Structure 1
Amino acid sequence: MADLPPEPGATALRVAVDGPELAAPEVLAGAVAELLPARGRSAVVVPADGFYRPASLRLEHGRTDPDARYTDWLDAGALTREVLAPLGPGGSGRYLPQLWDLARDRAVRADRQPGPAGGVLLVPGALLQGIGLPFDVVVHLRVGPAARRRRTPTDQAWALPAFDRYDDEVDPVALADAVVLADHPDRPALVLGGRWS
């Protein structure tokens, strides 16, 4: 990724690190961000869950509704408006690092930050493809259905149908620019081009 230039006029290369929570996309995003400065690229990580909707909207149909998990948790408009557009072509170059504090369920009073000019923005999160977010590059951490069921704690199993639906309706593997096979977290495998069999 360090050799990919941003779009003409863009402030940063906008990279999604898309994967279920059990694949720890924020860990990969953080590791990449630490490596990039040595390769001449500055980087910033903005987790997608900082742009989740308030609990009153996110959990309107209950705390264990997989359809709501799939469609209602992420405020894609806010993520685009506050982060992706400002760091994209013709943007201001200043982004909001977080909009909503999930633990306190209230707005964060964060100041806008200067983006990594000519650098890389990494947005780790789940279910990021197929909803029109303007990423330049997408890395998908693929955990197959059987591995998801095996590795998901019992109290979180209610969300599994959301990820099955994501696989069926969006086909994130086919859309991604690169896929990391993450069924076994100790043995990830990178597949470029999002094509594998």
Structure 2
Amino acid sequence: MHARLSPEDSPRERILAATAKLLADGGREAVSTRAVSAAADVQAPTIYRLFGDKQGLLDAAAAEGFTAYLNTKTAREPTDDPVEDLRTGWDMHVGFGLANPALYLVMSEPRPATEAPPAAVAGAEVLATLIHRIAEAGRLRVSEDRAAHLVQAAGRGTTLMLISMPEGSRDPELSVMAREAVITAITTGTPELAPPGPVSAAVALRAVLPQTSALTDREQALLREWLDRIAGPAH
């Protein structure tokens, strides 16, 4: 996934398009200041002025590509089944990684939490929204944070594993099995078939608490603390 170079584009747009193409064609090793300068028809100082260094350039290119992907993902209307929407989101995430392996590897590089790539931050925000809808429906059996972390860890790990496999020997069922294992671990059945236990009830109430005006700010804060303790890990 990369934009086409055009003489009418700004230097920043040409640099990002050139970086994306080099990344897609040759991986991270193919992206150098000299190669990007030549492909984008700009001087090296322009790259440093706009992006700081090579890592900044790679992060910007990854963010650009991932933003285009997220725009297609967030443009979809949510269905009445938030768990099914999570399945769709998982499949789209894995599909994006397999279609853009070099870009996905840049996004998935281990970093301190304070230095997470912008693309990864954007993806986490979309996931948090999906998880929150499941909590509001009373179908989340763990806290929203724990559910999001598990989906992130499993989804990223599955995608990286599939990327590492030769295309001809990839097992598409691996993603389906991982997805369903995670969904089973974090969600309950439909409320009609499986009434939520205390953890699910606490998570659901925590999700919709901002919608109530019956409590003072102090009372809401205290109730959030109690609900978090119920939904959190046992000690």
Q: TM-score range by the shorter chain?
A: under 0.3
Q: Which of the two has greater helix per residue?
A: 2
TM-score for both structures, normalised by structure 1: 0.27
Greater RCO structure (CA 8 Å; 6+ sep) = 1
Normalized against structure 2, the TM-score is what? Answer: 0.24
Work out which of the two has the higher radius of gyration on C-alpha atoms and give 1 or 2: 2
